[in-house]
Amino acid sequence: MTVLSVDPDDLELFASTLATRASVVSCCVAPPAVDDGLPPRTRSALAEAWATLAQRATALALELDVLHDDVATTAARYRDGDDAFAAALAS
């Protein structure tokens, strides 16, 4: 296994970027105003499509949050010189 040298500051920056992306994804799924002049089936289809998009965006935001936590934890352990963590990386 190859062990890469990683700068904890880079990991923390990456974690921060992930957190920002998660919040952006969460904020961008509000459904648009639907034209009342559209046929009922079209309005229904649009509402269903937006609901699906919102579910997927929420799932993506949750995954980004989990990844953020993992990267932030890794950065902290690397920065703190966790010997067990370093040994696990080296094995």
Residue 9: pLDDT over 60: yes
Both tokens assigned to 33 = 């105003």
Residues 6+ apart with CB under 8 A from 25: 57, 60, 61, 64
Q: Is the dihedral of CA 8, 9, 15, 21 positive or negative?
A: negative
pLDDT digits (tens, 9 = 90+) for 39-67: 889 888 888 888 888 888 888 888 888 88
Q: Which residue has the higher pLDDT, 17 or 7?
A: 17
Q: Write down the pLDDT at residue 1.
A: 46
